[in-house]
Structure 1
């Protein structure tokens, strides 16, 4: 995130906004300057002159209010459009890097951008306004007496140097807040998913205590962040008060020496207040911008251009998958090893084994969702040459069905309208057509992820239809029919295994009739031993 990118997002409007701010702040300074002749006329008992200059001053105030208010609206609009562009770039990063942690995505898409809006984009505009107020006021003071300007500049420099002492402290505090917020969101995500089970056993205390413990760290970090910014602001405020007192004293001395007019005495007090308060406000805004430095660097990394790989259909070139000396050691010390395996194109293979024998883990290793501790997985073409492909091209039906808040049809086609004509055909092959007919809106039925309007079996049928409609030559299915009745499972397998696709399926408790449909069975045990049943 940078002001330069914001400028590029809408150059003409950005220039217009800052022209409005410049004219608005110039009108504000002119309004204060007009008070000098107004008070001089009042001192000379010239009521008409006093009223005239007061009306001119009020007119300038009206111009300032209109221009600044309009610039705030346009700037806010520009900021939201810019944030929309940033979210688009960040979403590409998450998509490319296979990041599916809800809390991490939420934190970067919402919380972090909100932080940067309040601590970077908004302070930049506000800081520019305060800067202009100080510059214009100093210029007017110069017309009164150059000594006032010299003292003001010295005080201004001191105030501007103060943020350096707090820059690192406030930046670190901001980054810590965002990290603690992400951690807290993670805790919320994990416990909220189990609310139904907690309610079932009336485990309210553990829920509240876990949430409160997670919130404590975030609260502590937020308090620390507020304290560091408050300390920086307090130091600036002390310089501000001292500077105003010094300027007022100097102004009184110059008046007594006959070097400035009576009206200038009063307006100098106003201008000195504007300058010192403006410097204090500018420094406070600058502190906010600097506090966002670390967080901004993190967001910039997520914004880097990302090349989204297109589906090259390299999975169609794979003639066999060779697994050699494969093993995975988990952080808890558990180790799963696998015998050498070969999956040939077109084979229908059933993978079985006891819980913990590594069936699902084997799929995740093949699909590059996990990195093996040792061993290799090779994708070989029909000429015996190794293919370096993106494993994401393989169709993988996990135990937990992934659905989207859209129509049944779009969930099946994955938003590829070219496949709509094939939907009815594939839904019949997986026995999903009967379920669809029960819905009043048919394929146009919206999947409601909150109300969960599909049963477990219906979800499995949907993702099976999704796999078939995309006609992938390799299918990895993990317990893909566990929630479907035996009769429908038999019908689905008959259609699924009758294709030329390579089907590697994990299942347990299949009847002998269902097992016999496969070309062979690969059975794993906890020690990694293999039984190959032809």
Structure 2
């Protein structure tokens, strides 16, 4: 947090100056009050007129002071919040895939929206008020030492007691803010699931049931917010009651001083100092607790973490010239072993089809080859370099993935192929041609610059899948991972897409339940999973014995 606040030192100093302007205004107000009391006590018309002129000047000064202070603070606050948003986004984007996949995307959306809004709304308000109140407390305390050191000593003892009282409330404040953050994540996930499945809900006429569920989620979130707000207000009120008792004691003490000859104006000024000191602490300590809670939220969403994921955290570049060698590979989910002592080789440029019954572990094996999982026994090496020594970014720069559900951005066909990378135009055109997008581009007026609807809703399933293939070709990926890439397509279209996979120069590792006669046999090898055991067969031998698995 210190690094965040001091990133722009000049702007932070400007922010402190703007804060100090509030303090000057406050003491000017106290002086004006004391002068007015003095004018009443003097009963001098000429002196009173001078005080009225000063009061008018002060009334004009107050809004100008606020405006100038606001302008000095706002840019620093805006830039700092922008830094928080960037840090939070960078943290998610650079997170290892395995770590990222442990939570739903809605949780990350909640972090980027709800938690940052909470930080923005509470941290700077709390910081500003804390600095103002602590600053004014210290100045008032110094002035009080000069005017009455005994009273100053009493107020110091009072401040120590308030400090320990605030510490008593600190842990609960942080805990409640964390609960609000978690409830926001749950609420965002529930709402996303409801809207994603709204069509199914309406078709089955069960939207009312989900409305009740959604209202329950909203209610739980609002209860958490209410509890946090009530607790913050409660601690402020408890401190306020304590401070009121001290103010009464101060008033009695000053009454005895007046009998000793202290003027009404000075009594009024000293009483304002003491009561203001109480008010400063009443405001400052709950704000301090709120700041600590906000810092906890910041650390959660933006502070870099040490990840447990081992694979992909190395520093060796991914170079695939000859083969990927899998040796004595074992992998389990909990107590269930999925892969048992598997050993096989993936040769560069060859096409591999992973087969097995549903639940046999086909996707698990592909994920192991794609550096998704790290908690396996045995070894996976590419040209002699262990997967655990390879840098994740280097690996993913040279591989591509095609899934049965293709995600497309609401942008041009070109940007959906390049994924916003700088790729030569001829390479994009080549990728579109090889993947069979010629017909689509010819029928669209803007060609590659044609904009797609949300998630490509204005395209057929085959067209969407061909864009996904074009991505891999344009990227010049060395390995293409295909997980049920044709399962959502009809027989004829699926067969055409499968042909495209097999005609590529890239290494292809695919999973498919389908068998396309005259096409599927063209894979080089079939990797079969059965009861955890993995065997690799030449495709021609495998399909001479079985047609489907």
**TM-score, scaled relative to structure 1:** 0.86
CA distance in 1, matches of 2:456, 2:466: 19
**In the alignment, what sits opposite 1:247?**
250
59, 83, 93: which one pairs with 2:57? 59
**In the alignment, what sits opposite 2:545?**
none
**In the alignment, what sits opposite 1:290?**
292
**In the alignment, what sits opposite 1:39?**
37
**In the alignment, what sits opposite 2:92?**
94
1:93/1:293 Cα in 2 relative to 1: closer, same or farther (>3 Å)? closer
Q: Does 1:127 align with 2:130?
A: yes
Q: Do the aligned partners of 1:31 and 1:61 also contact (CA within 8 Å) in 2?
A: no
* Unpaired segments ≥5 residues, structure 1: none
261, 264, 269: which one pairs with 1:262? 264
**In the alignment, what sits opposite 1:77?**
75
**In the alignment, what sits opposite 2:544?**
none
Worse-superposed segment, 329-338 or 245-254: 329-338
Q: Does 1:360 align with 2:358?
A: no
Give, in angstroms, the shift of residue 451 of structure 1.
Answer: 7.7
Give, in angstroms, the shift of residue 412 of structure 1.
Answer: 0.8
**In the alignment, what sits opposite 1:314?**
318
Superposition RMSD on alpha carbons, in Å? 3.3
Q: Do the aligned partners of 2:187 and 2:221 also contact (CA within 8 Å) in 1?
A: yes
CA distance in 2, matches of 1:309, 1:375: 17
Q: Do the aligned partners of 2:408 and 2:416 also contact (CA within 8 Å) in 1?
A: yes
**1:222-233 to 2 correspondences below 5 Å:** 222-233=225-236
Q: Does 1:454 align with 2:459?
A: yes
Q: 1:417 aligns to what SS in structure 2?
A: coil
Q: Do the aligned partners of 2:37 and 2:265 also contact (CA within 8 Å) in 1?
A: yes
**1:142-291 to 2 correspondences below 5 Å:** 145-215=148-218, 217-258=220-261, 260-291=262-293
Give, in angstroms, the shift of residue 111 of structure 1.
Answer: 2.4
Q: Do the aligned partners of 1:184 and 1:218 also contact (CA within 8 Å) in 2?
A: yes
CA distance in 2, matches of 1:300, 1:479: 36
Q: 1:512 aligns to what SS in structure 2?
A: coil
510, 518, 521: which one pairs with 1:513? 518
User: Residue deviations 1:253-282, cap 9 Å, x none?
Assistant: 222321x21223344444433222222111
CA distance in 1, matches of 2:32, 2:217: 57
Give, in angstroms, the shift of residue 464 of structure 1.
Answer: 0.1
1:293/1:486 Cα in 2 relative to 1: closer, same or farther (>3 Å)? closer
User: Residue deviations 1:22-55, cap 9 Å, x none?
Assistant: 2442233123213323332233332332232233
1:403/1:61 Cα in 2 relative to 1: closer, same or farther (>3 Å)? same
**In the alignment, what sits opposite 1:433?**
438
User: Residue deviations 1:117-151, cap 9 Å, x none?
Assistant: 34433212111112233334445555654444344
Q: Do the aligned partners of 1:27 and 1:61 also contact (CA within 8 Å) in 2?
A: no
**In the alignment, what sits opposite 1:302?**
304
Worse-superposed segment, 221-230 or 356-365: 221-230
CA distance in 1, matches of 2:484, 2:302: 41
1:457/1:130 Cα in 2 relative to 1: closer, same or farther (>3 Å)? same
User: Residue deviations 1:455-488, cap 9 Å, x none?
Assistant: 3322211110011112222211122234456555
Q: 1:298 aligns to what SS in structure 2?
A: helix
Worse-superposed segment, 51-60 or 454-463: 51-60
Q: Does 1:403 align with 2:408?
A: yes
CA distance in 2, matches of 1:61, 1:16: 24
CA distance in 2, matches of 1:59, 1:137: 24
CA distance in 2, matches of 1:284, 1:529: 62
459, 481, 484: which one pairs with 1:479? 484
Q: Do the aligned partners of 1:187 and 1:214 also contact (CA within 8 Å) in 2?
A: yes
CA distance in 2, matches of 1:451, 1:403: 6
1:168/1:209 Cα in 2 relative to 1: closer, same or farther (>3 Å)? same
CA distance in 2, matches of 1:309, 1:53: 72
Give, in angstroms, the shift of residue 73 of structure 1.
Answer: 4.1
Give, in angstroms, the shift of residue 237 of structure 1.
Answer: 0.7
Q: 1:378 aligns to what SS in structure 2?
A: strand
**In the alignment, what sits opposite 2:6?**
7
User: Residue deviations 1:146-204, cap 9 Å, x none?
Assistant: 44434433333332332111122222222232223223333333343222211210112
Give, in angstroms, the shift of residue 438 of structure 1.
Answer: 3.3
Worse-superposed segment, 268-277 or 158-167: 268-277
Give, in angstroms, the shift of residue 342 of structure 1.
Answer: 2.5
Q: 2:345 aligns to what SS in structure 1?
A: strand
16, 22, 26: which one pairs with 1:18? 16
1:88/1:477 Cα in 2 relative to 1: closer, same or farther (>3 Å)? same
Q: Does 1:370 align with 2:377?
A: no
Give, in angstroms, the shift of residue 209 of structure 1.
Answer: 4.0
1:234/1:109 Cα in 2 relative to 1: closer, same or farther (>3 Å)? same
Q: Do the aligned partners of 2:478 and 2:507 also contact (CA within 8 Å) in 1?
A: yes
Q: 1:302 aligns to what SS in structure 2?
A: coil
**In the alignment, what sits opposite 1:468?**
473
Q: Tell me the number of residue pairs that the alignment of Structure 1 and Structure 2 aligns.
A: 525
CA distance in 2, matches of 1:451, 1:418: 22
* Unpaired segments ≥5 residues, structure 2: 541-549
Q: Do the aligned partners of 2:462 and 2:493 also contact (CA within 8 Å) in 1?
A: no
**TM-score, scaled relative to structure 2:** 0.84
Q: Do the aligned partners of 1:29 and 1:136 also contact (CA within 8 Å) in 2?
A: no
Q: 2:513 aligns to what SS in structure 1?
A: coil
420, 440, 444: which one pairs with 1:415? 420
Q: Do the aligned partners of 1:346 and 1:501 also contact (CA within 8 Å) in 2?
A: yes
1:219/1:269 Cα in 2 relative to 1: closer, same or farther (>3 Å)? same
Give, in angstroms, the shift of residue 61 of structure 1.
Answer: 4.9
